[in-house]
Structure 1
């Protein structure tokens, strides 16, 4: 039996051909009133970055929360503030310190942009975040939705957000029949997001949309009975909450192979600084053999010997268990080799390499899977004790 939807709900989103529909047609004060009332009674109010107008703290939380769950962000956020309590302290910090504090949180371009943004705020804005969302959007790592959230929470600016959670809420409530990531659909959702902004209470409204998507209107098993928008939700009325929003068309996930070298000399391991661009950009990681090195057993052995010889004379070599790390767009199959040196060779022209104490692995600016591997291999208490 289909549920009856209140007449107060907005009309379903129009087709792509009507994307120029006036935003006023989607205005609905009742929508924002329901969200604000619910947020004040049932929303989240005790997160570490709430109850403040400090734009630095708001900005830091919004960047960390991009594509990352709240529970994962909280310890990183608190640790960041202990080391970098102000935007000036973050701007002045060495990049390797920033990356080390971000290690394990993923999407490392966020950390690089975070550092650049802090330096821009200090250098061009005197350490004060601008209140204008359009100016915020021009800063490194800040998109339109993030700029609106920062401005709304820090300055009370009436600006619309449209992150993944909000897209899901809109797609269900308004019965969006197309993939929200499609550009034409996203443009229509932006029009609706702007049209639905309340005249006042934008902070509670913005937080309410985020809270609804994160706690009730979840991707799987949404809690529709407790949702303040259930009476106007098309997906709920038609029993299609499991279908909406429309999922992104699936593509075959590419798979890649690499060999990582754990080259150890006494109580130090060889690490390599990765380029700023690409996966794990700016972090330290393990040296790797090129994929083509594995085209044959003989070629692989020759490449391995040549790679190790650059740094010393090997006394032992052990192949460890392969493991897989899944990125957003591909899978990486990693085969690690543990290589102990009898004698280290120091050579010029290898500035991207550094010998790092095994005892400090836990605090090294390493990608999460690499750090996990190293801690598993060198877990002896005497090596990992600070």
Structure 2
């Protein structure tokens, strides 16, 4: 990474300009900025991963009402935790949060580690989150490098390193540590976040009105659109699923998923990975062949004899980190007192109290069940 590093005088001027703007126009009213205790900062930062601020606010407030302390989070039943998190997705995050809370309570006697290095010993806390907590809650002068920081710093200094490469984060971290304000490191990091989500967004940026336009090398020579440099990620793998929607009077077949694997411990209608279900991946099964095979699956695993129909809707899609699910829905209405081999019969109002993943919400919506 070759950059034209600023003089000490210019760094000082940048800090003053940035923090003056932040004091006047920053998002100080955000609920996690009004109280910068490490627990609240941590919860907000985990929620804000892959999720927009406006979406997070009501989730954050509900979460803090239900789990106001790290102790209450550490002791929470997992089902309660998943239900409060429902809709945010990336459920491994909240499971890791509980493990980290248990570490704070058990290993640190309820006292939060105060440095970026120590914070990274907690489950699910990486360099960015650790730096955010350490700088905001404990005023350690460490740069929090996220997507906003990559955008801001790459344009300020015209950095052409590929931000998709792990080594690049270290380069940006070292740069950020050189220019971060040592007295107000938390405010500095939050100002960079605000700058990256307002005047210096990925698209439709407005550097002409940016408070730091005089420092923005890419803006000054008209090359902003080139930064940051990022190689394309691998395309998510397509995975085909079948959702089996079986209704018995007012009840639906409903089951809790295994404790490991995708959607662990969530409640759904039976979801079958068709790609795994078909023994020979090179053979293209017709919809009728899949339907007949699923009827056999339903009888063998649940003790339900039913004639399934494929619902005439487009496959329901949902993107996970490395997979894109295409879910076809097969349905049946039965009237039988045959005992279930597994699963439960639940009426809709009752099953809605169980934690369920986003893909299940999409299934209800596609079927117009509410």
Per the TM alignment, residue 329 of structure 1 is displaced from its structure 2 partner at its CA by 3.1
**Is 1:54 the equivalent of 2:42?**
no
| Equivalent position of 1:6 in the other structure | none
| Equivalent position of 2:360 in the other structure | 370
State the distance in 2 between where 1:140 and 1:357 align. 37
Query: Is the 2:141–2:177 Cα contact (8 Å) retained in structure 1?
Result: no
Per the TM alignment, residue 93 of structure 1 is displaced from its structure 2 partner at its CA by 1.2
| Equivalent position of 1:169 in the other structure | 152
Per the TM alignment, residue 61 of structure 1 is displaced from its structure 2 partner at its CA by 0.5
Per the TM alignment, residue 354 of structure 1 is displaced from its structure 2 partner at its CA by 4.2
State the distance in 1 between where 2:245 and 2:121 align. 41
**Is 1:222 the equivalent of 2:205?**
yes
- Aligned match of 1:254 in 206, 231, 237? 237
Deviations along 1:1-37, one digit per CA (max 9) or x if unpaired, are xxxxxxxxxxxx418xxxxx99999992333222212
**Is 1:81 the equivalent of 2:52?**
no
Per the TM alignment, residue 133 of structure 1 is displaced from its structure 2 partner at its CA by 1.7
State the distance in 2 between where 1:54 and 1:283 align. 31
State the distance in 2 between where 1:306 and 1:80 align. 43
**Is 1:317 the equivalent of 2:320?**
no
**Is 1:236 the equivalent of 2:219?**
yes
State the distance in 2 between where 1:127 and 1:137 align. 16
Structure 1 counterpart SS, 2:68: coil
Query: Is the 1:311–1:345 Cα contact (8 Å) retained in structure 2?
Result: no
Per the TM alignment, residue 360 of structure 1 is displaced from its structure 2 partner at its CA by 3.6
Higher deviation after alignment, 115-124 or 290-299? 290-299
Deviations along 1:347-376, one digit per CA (max 9) or x if unpaired, are 56x4xx444431144443112131132245
State the distance in 2 between where 1:107 and 1:163 align. 18
Per the TM alignment, residue 142 of structure 1 is displaced from its structure 2 partner at its CA by 0.6
| Equivalent position of 2:171 in the other structure | 188
Mapping 1:68-217, distance limit 5 Å = 68-217=51-200
Per the TM alignment, residue 278 of structure 1 is displaced from its structure 2 partner at its CA by 4.4
Query: Is the 1:361–1:374 Cα contact (8 Å) retained in structure 2?
Result: no
| Equivalent position of 1:341 in the other structure | 334
Higher deviation after alignment, 192-201 or 277-286? 277-286
Closer/same/farther in 2, CA of residues 251 and 378 from structure 1, 3 Å limit: closer
- Aligned match of 1:32 in 11, 15, 19? 15
Structure 1 counterpart SS, 2:100: helix
Deviations along 1:18-73, one digit per CA (max 9) or x if unpaired, are xxx99999992333222212111111110111121322111110110112110111
Runs of 4+ in 1 over 6 A off after TM superposition: 21-27
State the distance in 2 between where 1:365 and 1:75 align. 18
Per the TM alignment, residue 212 of structure 1 is displaced from its structure 2 partner at its CA by 0.6
- Aligned match of 1:14 in 2, 11, 14? 2
Closer/same/farther in 2, CA of residues 259 and 368 from structure 1, 3 Å limit: same
Structure 1 counterpart SS, 2:330: strand
- Aligned match of 2:349 in 328, 352, 359? 359
Closer/same/farther in 2, CA of residues 305 and 243 from structure 1, 3 Å limit: same
Query: Is the 1:27–1:195 Cα contact (8 Å) retained in structure 2?
Result: no
Q: How many residue pairs are counted as aligned between the two chains?
A: 360
Closer/same/farther in 2, CA of residues 335 and 216 from structure 1, 3 Å limit: same
Closer/same/farther in 2, CA of residues 276 and 69 from structure 1, 3 Å limit: farther
Structure 2 counterpart SS, 1:169: helix
Structure 1 counterpart SS, 2:198: helix
Per the TM alignment, residue 224 of structure 1 is displaced from its structure 2 partner at its CA by 0.5
Question: What is the CA RMSD across the aligned residues, in angstroms?
Answer: 2.7
State the distance in 2 between where 1:111 and 1:276 align. 15
* Structure with greater contact order relative to length (CA < 8 Å, sep ≥ 6): 1
Structure 1 unaligned residues grouped into runs of 5+ = 1-12, 16-20
Closer/same/farther in 2, CA of residues 149 and 24 from structure 1, 3 Å limit: farther
TM-score, normalization by structure 1? 0.84
Structure 1 counterpart SS, 2:167: helix
Deviations along 1:236-281, one digit per CA (max 9) or x if unpaired, are 0121222211232254443221111112333332334334554434
Deviations along 1:128-175, one digit per CA (max 9) or x if unpaired, are 322122111111111111111112222222222101111111111110
Deviations along 1:100-136, one digit per CA (max 9) or x if unpaired, are 1112111111111111111222222222322122111
TM-score, normalization by structure 2? 0.88
Structure 2 counterpart SS, 1:198: coil
